[in-house]
Amino acid sequence: MIYHETSHGLSNRLVGGGTTGCLGGVQSAGMGEGWSDFMAASFLDDPVIGAYVTGNAVTGIRRASMADSPFTYANIKDRSMTEKHDAGEVWAAALWDVRTALGKAITEQLVVAGMKLTPCNPTMLQARDAILQADANSNAGANRCAIFAAFAGRQMGVDAASHTHNSTTDIVTSTAIPADCPTPATGKTRVFTSTHVPRAIPDNDPAGVRTGILVRRPGLDVQKVLVSVDITHTYRGDLVIQLIAPNGETATLSDRAGGSADNFIAVDLDVSSSFTPGSSASGGWKLFVRDTAIQDTGTINSFSLAITSTN
């Protein structure tokens, strides 16, 4: 939440050339909130805003995690998501989809560079186009199709239209991508569940504890990874919790977050952005938990993965 508020200073000073008065419409104010949610979430590798405040690691203070959001541009059109924080969820989810496709570092760079190219009182489509232009400027448009696919998934595709930043019912939604872009693979999702539980978490032990899932099916690639974890512990702020892929890439689910609250429970937490798209999903996945302080103890009760692959 602190990073969210600080990021308002970023968007207000970059969009529209720094007049600080460009984000007051339905879509533009929504993007002000969405940019702040996205920047905070991306920096902290956590798509849930305000989990610490609410004690809810699934949705935090929003209606949904931006990594598992059902909201699209159609929710602006039908006026079900026109309050600025609600509209912000649409924009943040779209940006998180871009991050999932391109990775953390390049997406953060494109989002900030895109702000500088976004006009005053922008529609979401104008801000989309500014990100595409930033990619054209920095990467010769190498990510154009992936960016368009991400926005098309939120009904902000190539044929979408919006007259002004206050447009709602007159919005035209679109799931189309440019004709020269390949059709994104739909993929197949498989669920894998650890049988090596429960596992006690040793107290104040840097060695921690691991439990694993062996994906035996060969040839699976990583397109999307959702992790579900149930850990009981009497002081959640003691825990470092990480998911380690077969190639060693690591997603940090929690790094001593949550203070004195009990337990860590996550359901279908999207950690896709921590893993290289197309890398091998076959092999051993590990959940690593380390307790960093004395006295409080706990147990890994369950651990499962939902992995989407193109094959």
* Cross-strand partners of 156: 174
Residue type, 140: A
Clarify whether 5 is annotated catalytic: yes
Closest CA to 34 of 66, 56, 9: 66
Q: Tell me the chain's radius of gyration from C-alpha atoms.
A: 20
Sign, Cα dihedral of 7, 9, 15, 20 = positive
Q: Which residues are catalytic?
A: 5
